[in-house]
Each structure stands twice: as structure tokens, then as C-alpha cells.
Amino acid sequence: MFAIAAAAGLVIAGCGEGAPGMVLGAEDYKQQVNDLCGSLNADFEQLTGEADDDAETLAALLPKLEDRNREFLELTPPDELKDAGDSLALSNQEQLAATQAAADAAEADDQKAYRFALAELERVEAERDERATELGAEDCAG
């Protein structure tokens, strides 16, 4: 049920080479996006589907997602990847919002709302996988 783990994708990490705002070549951009992927997958894998068990994991995950989103937006894609990069940035924001909703339900120990929020998170993750694949960031797709 929690296939979202593989889809969790982008994570906090340094942007590697390239200063914020510097336009990267296509391969460098894809590599930097892939470099942002990593430990979030493991964080999402820890989710059990039980609100009371997952509240702490989700609370720790939210700042990581916020950092990842900020760092992703600091990357400047080449023109040929701009639309795909913008699309993935939108998916990243949707992922953060869905994770926040799950965290809120888990914190309230509302199992029904939590299951609904997890279902929405899985839907968002599936869309995010598609957008990461379109970008060529295979490490970020599940």
C-alpha cells in the first residue's frame, strides 16, 4: 500500500556544482535533480499506515521536503527542460501539501482522515513519478 516510498524522490542535499540561478546543461541539470533524491525514500518507507505510529515520522519529513523544494527551485534548467522542471516543481509543492495533510491527520490521531490523506499522497506521488520521468530524473521516480 505504501508504494509512495519509491516515489518520494527529491530530498535535501546540496545542489552540487552550479550556483543558484546559473543555467545548467541538460545532463548537469538532470544529475543535480537526481542528486536531490535519496533519503526521503527511506523516510516514506517508514510509514506504517497507522496515524499514531506515523505522526513523528511525518513531522520530521516536512522540513526536509521544504528544504528540497527550496533547493530544487534554486536550480535553473536549460530551456529544453524548463517546462518539465516547472511541472516537477509543481508536483513537489503538491507532495508537500499532501504530506502536510497526512501529518495533520496523524497528529490528531484521526485514522480515517489519515487513510484518506495517505490515499491522496499516493495519487500525488504517482503524478510526481510521471513528471520526474518526463524530466529524465529517473532516480526521483519510483
pLDDT score, position 24: 83
pLDDT tens-digit readout, 34-55: 888 766 777 888 999 999 999 9
pLDDT score, position 21: 62
pLDDT score, position 11: 34
State the residue range of the domain holding 114. 4-140
pLDDT score, position 38: 64
Q: Which residues of the chain have pLDDT under 70?
A: 1-21, 38-39, 142
> pTM (2 decimals)?
0.81
pLDDT score, position 6: 36
The Cα 10–Cα 67 span in angstroms is 10
Domain count across the chain: 1
CATH code for the domain in which residue 59 is found: 1.20.120
